[in-house]
């Protein structure tokens, strides 16, 4: 696995790094609009799709009786985090250089994830994957009715994705290639999850040897996790959330 990681990194890292440097000028142009209100706005928008937010939000789904949605969102988040962090540590492409880019981190968690690699943007990936699944769920399980309500929900989803992507650039955390990479990977994960979510839920609820399977599968995923070029906190974050997913 290590040899495959190194080989894939040698093919992708130079390309991505070159685009990170090219994208730095775009970030600087966006940051010319800097204003305390914009700082606060984009920091707040980023926080509502962060791991910290979902850690608080997901238990509410179970407590309010929406157990199926809670299970799916928890497992999907674990899958999004694992896949996104794998890509980050395999490619090991840098974040925008700071300076000259102004990097705004407003929480301790943001300061920690700033030590992770850049591609793909986890915020963008999670927004499309998790918010996209939530949108699918509320539409297909008749939580909202009528064309107008569905159109509003879809519009809000698209606006949120746009604001998250723009916000990560404005805050100096990502370049455009990171955001695009997160959007592409998040979309792929969403469509994959929509094709298997019912089967997964059936297995979790009524399958045999569920606990032993998930425990074994978790250890396999930990073993298969790629080694980054330099140490990052990604593996620790993934390990912790795997424990949450195992509890589901």
Cβ within 8 Å of residue 109, ≥6 positions away? 50, 51, 52
Spell 170-196 as b/e; 16+ CB within 10 A means b.
bbbbbbbbbbbbbbebbeebbeebeee
Cα–Cα distance, 180 to 154 (Å, whole number) = 20
Neighbours of 53 (CB within 10 A): 14
d(CA 145, CA 168) in angstroms, rounded, equals: 33
Active site residues: 123, 174
Using DSSP's 3-state secondary structure scheme, residue 35 falls into coil
pLDDT at 38: 92
Tell me the C-alpha distance between 138 and 156, whole Å.
13
Rounded distance, CA 96 to CA 24, Å? 6
pLDDT tens, residue by residue, 120-142:
999 999 999 999 999 999 998 87
pLDDT at 52: 73
Q: What is the pTM of this model?
A: 0.88
pLDDT for position 142: 76
Nearest residue to 93 (alpha-carbon basis) of 188, 224, 225, 232: 232
Helices (H) and strands (E) in the chain, counts: 11, 0
pLDDT at 1: 61
pLDDT number for residue 228: 84
Q: What is the pLDDT of residue 72?
A: 92
Backbone angles phi, psi at 110, to 5 degrees: -60, -40
Residue 148 CB neighbours (<10 A): 9
SS3 state of residue 112: helix
Alpha carbons 158 and 23: distance in angstroms, whole number? 23
Which stretches in the chain have pLDDT values below 50? none
Long-range contacts of 160-163 (CB under 8 A, 24+ apart): 160/45, 160/49, 160/127, 160/131, 161/124, 161/127, 161/128, 161/131, 163/42, 163/45
């Amino acid at each position: 696995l290590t040899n495959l990681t190194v080989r894939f990194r040698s093919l992708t890292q130079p390309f991505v790094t070159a685009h990170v440097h090219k994208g730095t000028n775009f970030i600087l142009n966006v940051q010319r609009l800097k204003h305390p209100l914009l700082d606060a706005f984009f920091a707040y928008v980023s926080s509502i799709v962060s791991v910290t937010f979902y850690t608080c939000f997901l238990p509410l789904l179970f407590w309010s009786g929406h157990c199926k949605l809670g299970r799916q969102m928890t497992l999907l988040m674990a899958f999004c985090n694992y896949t996104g962090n794998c890509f980050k540590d395999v490619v090991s492409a840098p974040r925008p250089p700071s300076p000259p880019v102004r990097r705004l981190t407003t929480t301790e968690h943001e300061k920690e994830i700033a030590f992770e690699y850049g591609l793909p943007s986890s915020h963008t990936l999670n927004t499309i994957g998790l918010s996209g699944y939530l949108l699918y769920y509320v539409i297909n399980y008749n939580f909202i009715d009528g064309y107008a309500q569905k159109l509003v929900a879809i519009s809000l989803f698209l606006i949120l994705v746009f604001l998250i992507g723009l916000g990560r650039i404005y805050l100096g955390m990502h370049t455009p290639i990171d955001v695009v990479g997160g959007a592409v990977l998040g979309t792929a994960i969403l469509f994959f999850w929509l094709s298997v979510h019912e089967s997964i839920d059936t297995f979790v609820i009524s399958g045999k040897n569920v606990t032993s399977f998930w425990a074994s599968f978790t250890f396999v995923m930990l073993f298969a996790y790629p080694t980054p070029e330099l140490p990052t906190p990604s593996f620790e974050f993934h390990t912790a959330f795997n424990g949450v997913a195992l509890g589901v």
